[in-house]
Each structure stands twice: as structure tokens, then as C-alpha cells.
Amino acid sequence: MSATLPAACAHTVEILPRLLHAIRPPLALAFSYQTEDVAALHLLKQLGVDGVEIFTLNTGKLFPAIAGYHYEVEKFFGVKITPYHPDGAEEKELADLGEFGMRASLDNRHRCCEVRKVRPLARALSGKNAWLTGLRAAQAVTRQNLGVLEYDEKNHLIKINPLIAWSDADLAAYREKFSLPENPLYARGFKSIGCEPCTRPVRDGEDIRAGRWWWENPEHKECGLHLKKINN
Ligand code: SF4
């Protein structure tokens, strides 16, 4: 599998089985409809890794196009992607935000992400021994100090970021080599996929995540899902 891959991808193919060998199932893979997540899922399938729940956080604010892509990915890989939703009662506490109130202040945005993402994530990770993500350091300034192996202090779990050292070109080469299904939003100018009210297409020359929470400073652009490293 690794013969004609870019060096960073081949390295991941080599080390991921060893990393996972040391961790007992059940594990979870976070799937947020990015090319990175599709690559991470493909790696797991190619390596024959079992005991991994593939989950997504259905915030209730996703783009309509996501539903069709969700189905396409399930079909392509022959897997089930389990959606975790916000708690209905907690969601009502966000009623004052209306449709776009999360843009009015950092506090509002964090309240919304807490209810729609952070708490559902905690439910998705409950009972798991570790989780995997498609995070890459090249995606954003907030991710440049992340390592392949971290400790998620909030959820008290090992977190594995197999693609952390992949460049944009590495990811594109991997997707192309295996003809992986691509989120249709990329063809509309999006370079990072998030909730509809908080994500816009990216212009030429802009950072990959420039379209996420575009009204905020770059160092604030995380939703509370990704915390601190313990090892490279
Ligand atoms: S990304 Fe936006 S809509 Fe989605 S949970 Fe966060 S604030 Fe709410």
C-alpha cells in the first residue's frame, strides 16, 4: 500500500498499526466530512483495524449537501457513521441566539459549540479507550503544536492524530491515489467543512480555515474539541 505514497503518508501507514496495537478497543474515529477524515477512515479500513466506531457530530446546523455525502461515504466504505446530536433541552437554551447570534460574540459562539459539539462529543467518546481524528498541523495556527499522540484532558482519553504531519499536497495525493469520495462543498470553494452559519468559501491565497468563524481572530478558531499534546 505504501510503495508510491508521499513519505508522510507512508510513514503513517507504517506507524499507525503499532500505535493502535498498544490500545485496546473500543476506539472512535471522528468524522466531520473533511477529506482528512475520509483519508483516516481509508487508512483504518486498509489496515484492517476493527473495534472503531465512526461517529459524526450532527449539530443541527450542517449544510444540506452533507446528508447526501454522508450516505455516499457509508456506501463507499461499507460502514455506518453514527450521528451524535445536541441534547434537545440544552438546545432550547440557545434560542436567544436565533439564526446568526453565534457571530455576535465569542461567548455566544462558545455556548453554541459547547451544546452542539462539545457535549455530543463527550457522549460519543463515553466508554471508548481512545479516539482518532483527521487533524493536520498545516490546517491552522491553533494546530501547529499538536502531535500524533495526545491526551484529551477534557474527555480523559488518548487522542491519535495519524495525519498530523501531512501537507496539503500529501492529502491530495492520498485522496487521488485511492479515488476517495470528495465532499461536494469543496467544489463550491470551501476548504474546511463546518456548520453552515459559521463557514464560508475561501478565496485564493487565504488560509485553509479562513472560512471558519471568519469574523474571529485565528487563535480563537477552535470549537473546544481539540486540546493538549503529551507526546510527538
Ligand atoms: S460552528 Fe457555529 S453553528 Fe456550529 S456549533 Fe459552533 S457556533 Fe454553533
CATH number at residue 174: 3.40.50.620
Pocket of ligand 1 (CB under 6 A): 59, 61, 102, 109, 112-113, 116-117, 194-195, 197-198, 223
Ligand 1 center–CA 122 separation, angstroms: 16
Q: pLDDT tens digits, residue range 188-212? A: 999 999 999 999 999 988 888 889 9
- Confidence class for position 232, pLDDT limits 50, 70, 90: very low
pLDDT average, residue stretch 104-108: 95
From the alpha carbon of 108, which atom of ligand 1 is closest? Answer: 7
Distances 51 to 89, 104, 138, 188, 204 between C-alpha atoms, Å = 32, 41, 29, 35, 40
State the pLDDT at residue 223: 64
Specify if 79 maps to a domain: yes
Average pLDDT of the residues in 65-87: 98
Average pLDDT, integer, range 25-40: 97
Ligand 1 atom 2: the closest Cα is on which residue?
198
Residue 33 CA, ligand 1 centroid: distance in Å: 15
Residue 94 Cα: closest atom of ligand 1? 8
pLDDT at site 9: 97
Say how many Å lie between the CA of residue 164 and the centre of ligand 1.
24
Q: Which range has the worst mean pLDDT, 19-28, 49-58, 185-194, 218-227? A: 218-227
Q: Is 50 exceeded by the pLDDT of residue 229?
A: no
pLDDT at 217: 81
* Structure-model confidence comparison of residues 219 and 129, the more confident one: 129
Establish if 57 belongs to a structural domain. yes
Is 193 inside any structural domain? no
Q: How many domains does the chain have?
A: 1
pLDDT of residue 63: 98
Q: Give domain status of residue 51, yes or no.
A: yes
- Distance CA(70)–CA(65), nearest Å, equals 9
C-alpha atoms less than 13 angstroms from C-alpha of 48 in its C-beta half-sphere: 1
Query: What is the DSSP secondary-structure string of 11-51?
Result: HHHHHHHHHHHTSPSPEEEE--SSHHHHHHHHHHHHTT--S
- With the C-alpha atoms ordered 109, 111, 115, 121, is the resulting torsion angle positive or negative? positive
**Residue at 146 is within a domain:** yes
Catalytic residues: 223
| 24 within a domain of the structure (yes/no) | yes
The average confidence (pLDDT) of the chain is 92
**Domain carrying residue 59:** 7-188
Question: For atom 5 of ligand 1, which residue has the closest CA?
Answer: 113
Q: Is the model more confident about 207 or about 33?
A: 33
**pLDDT greater than 80 at residue 218:** no
* CB-CB contact of 108 with 83 (8 Å): no
Distance separating alpha carbons of residues 215 and 213, to the nearest angstrom: 6
Model pTM score? 0.91
Q: Region 144-154: what's the mean pLDDT?
A: 90
Cα 205 to averaged position of ligand 1 atoms, centre (Å): 25
Match 485522496 to its residue by C-alpha cell: 175
229/146 Cα distance (integer angstroms) = 6
